[in-house]
Amino acid sequence: MSDVENTRSIPAADAATIAATIDVEVAFALPDRQQIIALQVQQGCTAFQAAELSGIDAQFAEIDLSTMKMGVFGKAVKPHDYVMHAGDRVEIYRPLIADPKASRKARADKAQAVSK
């Protein structure tokens, strides 16, 4: 199930401020639920700041923005360094349950044992 919330906006005082905002999204997903929040942020906003402004951490107890890895459209970024562009979607990644290399090795070992 996907939920897209109404756009949140940073209050704009005048036309110059409005022109200096961009539309972005922040996303987080669990196996049974995902949330995508559309919002406007100031140009120059980092991925971390966009995640904070979205308030998504209040909706998921699992989210600790200070420790979780983030990406933009599937590419890992440094949240405090990546400057958002119009249309970007910040994805907050859950920690891995198993080491992919160890899982792959275990499957290969099992397949090799079966084939003998």
- Copy the structure tokens of residue 65: 């923005």
Give percent above pLDDT 90 in the chain: 60
| pLDDT computed for residue 101 by the predictor | 83
Helix (H) or strand (E) holding 110: helix 100-115
Q: Angle 9-20-28 (CA atoms, 0-180°, nearest 5)?
A: 45
2-115 has which fold? Ubiquitin-like (UB roll) (3.10.20)
pLDDT band with cut points at 50, 70 and 90 for residue 15: low
Q: What CA–CA distances, in Å, run from 52 to 16, 47, 89, 97, 112? A: 24, 9, 14, 25, 47
Q: What is the pLDDT of residues 24-54, one digit of tens each?
A: 999 999 989 999 999 999 999 999 999 999 9
For the cut 80, the answer to whether the pLDDT of residue 115 exceeds it is no
pLDDT tens digits for range 60-110: 988 999 999 999 999 999 999 999 999 999 999 988 777 778 778 888 888
**In the predicted structure, residue 16 carries a pLDDT above the cut 60:** no
- Please tell me the distance from the alpha carbon of residue 115 to that of residue 42, in angstroms, as a whole number: 59
**pTM, to two decimals:** 0.70
Cα–Cα dist 84/71, whole Å: 11
Cα separation, 95 vs 116, in Å, equals: 36
Domain ranges of the chain: 2-115
Query: Which pLDDT belongs to residue 102?
Result: 78
Q: How confident is the model at residue 116 (pLDDT cuts 50, 70, 90)?
A: low
Q: Mean pLDDT in the chain?
A: 85
